[in-house]
Amino acid sequence: MTVQTRTDHTGHRANEANHKQRVQFLVAADESALPELEAMLTTLPLCATGRVFVEVASESDIGTLHVPPRMTVTWLSRSHRSGAPGSGRSCSKGEAVSRAVRAWAGEMLCDHPEEVHVWLGGNYRGVAASHEYLTADLGVADAVIETPPAYRLSTSR
């Protein structure tokens, strides 16, 4: 009796990681959107990979979020961040989260901006700055970016 071992799994070998087809999730919000953020996180698939950025006023606002095991949560406290470089100002609401989105997306999506699903919530300033960078600078399609409907940032909905 001959046993045949199948090593081909939808375009990749069994011993190779298939990162080429994996969609990254980028989730970003400030404390004003925490209830919506928590609700959205419950809809992510268990195998989801990517990053969650949450901007808060201070460390005392940091809590616990339940995310899939392959997602990383980063809390951004405005109390220890400055505003625009060289301005001497303190960090405005939405500024820390938009900088985090730019940094992560600039590194992780430079070759494949089509392999991402984005959810942006919170203050208009942070959401709009993040949306503009993702669409205008990186070429991420509006169709994969979810923003609050009242902001009217998406042209595809």
Look at residue 155 in the predicted model and tell me its pLDDT: 64
pTM score:
0.81
Residue 28, SS3? strand
46-68 tens-digit pLDDT: 999 999 999 999 999 999 999 99
User: What is the C-alpha separation between 21 and 23, in angstroms, rounded?
Assistant: 6
76-100 tens-digit pLDDT: 998 877 666 666 677 888 899 999 9
Would you say the C-alpha torsion 75, 78, 80, 81 has a positive or negative sign?
Answer: positive
CB 97 within 8 A of CB 78: no
Return the ∠ at Cα 124 (arms to 94 and 105), rounded to 5°.
Answer: 60
- Domain map of the chain by residue range? 21-81+90-148
CB 38 within 8 A of CB 27: no
In sequence order, the β-bridge partners of residue 90 are: 82
Look at residue 84 in the predicted model and tell me its pLDDT: 66
CB neighbourhood size of 66 (10 A): 10
Strand (E) or helix (H) holding 75: strand 70-77
Tell me which CATH code domain 21-81+90-148 carries: 3.40.50.80
